[in-house]
Amino acid sequence: MSEVIDKLKKAILIYDRKTASQMAVKAIEECIDPGEILNAMTETIREIGNGFERGELFLPDLVGAASAMSEAIAIVETNLEKSGKKVDKIGTVVLGTVKGDIHDIGKTMVKAFLVAENFRVIDLGVDVAAEKFIESIQKYKAEILALSALLTTTVAEQRKIIEILKEKGIKNKVKVIIGGAATNQEFADEIGADGYEATAPRAPGLCKRLLTKE
């Protein structure tokens, strides 16, 4: 392993956003294969996720690592786009926090874990209207729609979006997953969501299982 890749991994492990970004840039400047850079970050975020699942790490650890890795991945992906190189993706996920809810942490963590597992993620941000989700599904030909809601007052938006998908006759064309502190498996079943996960590290596994069922 090159020294710069080693420093990149260590920066993510200690949640050092600045150094992670700097090492990503340096790795590109040294002409290290983008695939190798992405694989190193994937291994690192998996290590963080596994530590969380074992109870050895906690939510702040996930947040810090996801934040550091997200910036570094953005740098590598921008370089890939400029070079014209294509990386085969497992599938496309449209992701966002529903209208009326501006919480971003959970969504950001889910995005980091999905990107690390080679999903193409279209992050719409927070306070996203139902119409924007529908438009994005169609525009990007997404296989999965991931809806986040932290507040008990905004989970109704998740139900609303699924109802709109049914009304438009496109619910069978996309798998809908939900998450957030105000949600659970019972609520997911009640509103007709295709999946639910309580933690960000498990989101990629859920998405892979749903795509396999297609």
Express each pLDDT in 67-107 by its tens digit.
899 889 889 888 887 777 767 789 999 999 999 999 998 99
**Which domains are delineated in the chain?**
3-83 (1.10.1240.10), 92-212 (3.40.50.280)
> What is the model's pLDDT at position 48?
94
Express each pLDDT in 7-38 by its tens digit.
999 999 999 999 999 999 999 999 998 888 98
Whole-number average pLDDT of the chain: 93
3-state class (DSSP) for residue 97? strand
Type and span of the H or E element at 29? helix 17-29
- In SS3 terms, 57-69 reads as CCHHHHHHHHHHH
139 Cβ contact list (under 8 Å, min separation 6): none
| Closest-CA residue to 72 (of 49, 42, 48) | 42
Residue type, 116: A
> What is the model's pLDDT at position 81?
76
DSSP 117-157: TT-EEEE--SSB-HHHHHHHHHHHT-SEEEEE--STTTHHH
